[in-house]
Amino acid sequence: MMHMSMRWFGPQQDSVTLKQIRQVPGMEGVITALHEIPAGEVWPEDQVAERKAMVEKAGLKVLGIESINVHEDIKYGAANRDMLIDNYIKSLEAVGKNDIHLVCYNFMPVFDWTRTDLALPLEDGSTALAYDGSIIEGLTAEEMFERIANSSNGFEMPGWELSRRDEITAQIKKFQGMSDDELRANFKYFLDAIMPTCEKYNIKMGVHPDDPSYDLFGIPRITKCEEDLVKIARMNSSPLNGFSLCTGSLGSNPDNCLPKIIRNKEIASRIHFAHIRNVLHTGDHQFHESSHVSHTGSLDLYEIVKALVEVGFNGVVRPDHGREIWDEVARPGYGLFDRALGATYLIGLEEAIRKSKGMPYPDNLNSITAPWC
Ligand SMILES: [Mn+2]
């Protein structure tokens, strides 16, 4: 069954409290990270323990880590990558020794995700994250920064902070010369190096898909469709090498059929974690995030949850981004209210689907830490 969680950015960086999360019906735990530690540096075991104790004191579990970020030099295959991978392994050990067995990460060069609007007003008065390819696709890094610098209406792009202008421009140029297969080779190198440690501590690794799931800025992108995921599954045979199935990211491309991807036999058993949310396609390379409810977006969440039930998914899920509703002021996409509505909707879908098949629900709430330990 799906074990429901919410992402929590920690005591300093989240407007939502653990107490609030605890009161969302059916919530079992949180997905969190030591966001203050930069990519490439080692996570101290005691800091992971401290975070875990904080969460458990609030009556929740740490169901996984999102993310331990992969340093750009590992993605690029730079000369110092072995040292950086060693640090990554030490961070995994800190997580494993704290009895945490799920890590979400990504292998997207330069940008974790791209949107052109963080607060697009929707008809109902809420706001949502949105993407319009016509605004940015085809621009060079220099043109992007010019556009942002000259904007009089506060046009901002996450990841394109003007203070990082030189760094980002250089990173983009570096990766523009790399093919998808070269990036895959670096990904395999990373996976082969970390998997023995994952095996030792039974840590499921779930790679997050490209968001949005199509090419951008001429940078290689290797996690954007079913075929890409199969290639990743074949990179390292450990069953711990798997996916964070993000329906909104893959679903940003209408060519991606989520239920079909979930049912792919090489993918299904490797879905270790799921981000479930909806997007509404409004044009070619144009979408905004919607509420989780199927008919408010372009994705059929009933069919997605049904596919997860039918492949025997037994792992952690979280509602992904939500809209900003009811005047809440929060980190874009990560307010409490719409994510709470999303969580209860997903729980309702799963309960109905399982019971309609004569399956128990919940399967055994007392064993929520057991299935993947
Ligand atoms: Mn996601």
Output the pLDDT for position 170. 87
Which residues, other chains included, contact 229 with Cβ-Cβ below 8 Å and sequence gap of 6+? 209, 223, 243, 261, 264, 266, 267
pLDDT computed for residue 188 by the predictor: 98
Q: Which uninterrupted H or E stretch holds 97?
A: helix 81-97
**221 CA distance to ligand 1 centroid (A)?**
16
Task: Map residue 43 onto helix, strand or coil.
Answer: coil
Bridge partners (DSSP) of residue 279 are 289
Residues in the chain: 373
Centre of ligand 1 from the C-alpha of residue 152, in Å: 31
Q: Which residues are registered as beta bridge partners of 204?
A: 102
Ligand 1 mean position, distance from CA 275 (Å): 5
pLDDT score for 258: 97
Q: How far is the CA of 276 from the centre of ligand 1 (A)?
A: 8
Contact 97, 201 (CB under 8 A): yes
How far, in Å, is the centroid of ligand 1 from the Cα of 94?
Answer: 24
At 151 the pLDDT is 64
Structure-block tokens of residue 195: 């998997």
In whole angstroms, how far apart are CA 368 and each of 63, 102, 120? 9, 13, 37
Domains of the chain: 3-140+183-357 (3.20.20.150)
- Residue 320 is among the residues annotated as catalytic for this protein: yes
| pTM, rounded to two decimals | 0.92
Please confirm whether the linkage preceding 25 is cis (ω < 30° from 0).
no
Q: Give the residue ranges of the chain where pLDDT is below 70.
A: 151-158, 364-373
The bridge status of strand 271-276 relative to strand 2-8 is: unpaired
Q: Is 225 a catalytic residue?
A: no
- What is the longest distance spanned by two Cα atoms in the chain? 60
Set 105, 225, 246, 288: catalytic member: 246
Cβ contact 107:190 at 8 Å: yes
Backbone angles phi and psi of 361, in degrees to 5: -150, 125
What confidence score (pLDDT) does residue 155 get?
A: 58
**Distance between CA 130 and CA 151 in Å, rounded?**
18
pLDDT value, residue 342:
97
CB burial class (10 A; 0-12, 13-18, 19+) of residue 352?
middle
- Examine the residue annotation and report whether 246 is marked as an active-site residue of this protein: yes
Q: Is there a catalytic annotation at residue 292?
A: no
Q: pLDDT value at position 153?
A: 55
Q: Is 281 annotated as catalytic?
A: no
CA 147–ligand 1 middle distance (angstroms): 27
Catalytic-residue membership of 321 = yes
Are 27 and 6 contacting, i.e. CB atoms less than 8 angstroms apart?
Answer: yes
Cα 365 to middle of ligand 1, angstroms:
25
Q: Which of 210, 272, 321, 345 is catalytic?
A: 321
Sequence-distant (6+) residues with CB within 8 A of 79 are none
Catalytic residue among 117, 334, 338, 345: 334
pLDDT at 370: 46
| Dist. CA 50 → ligand 1 center (Å) | 26
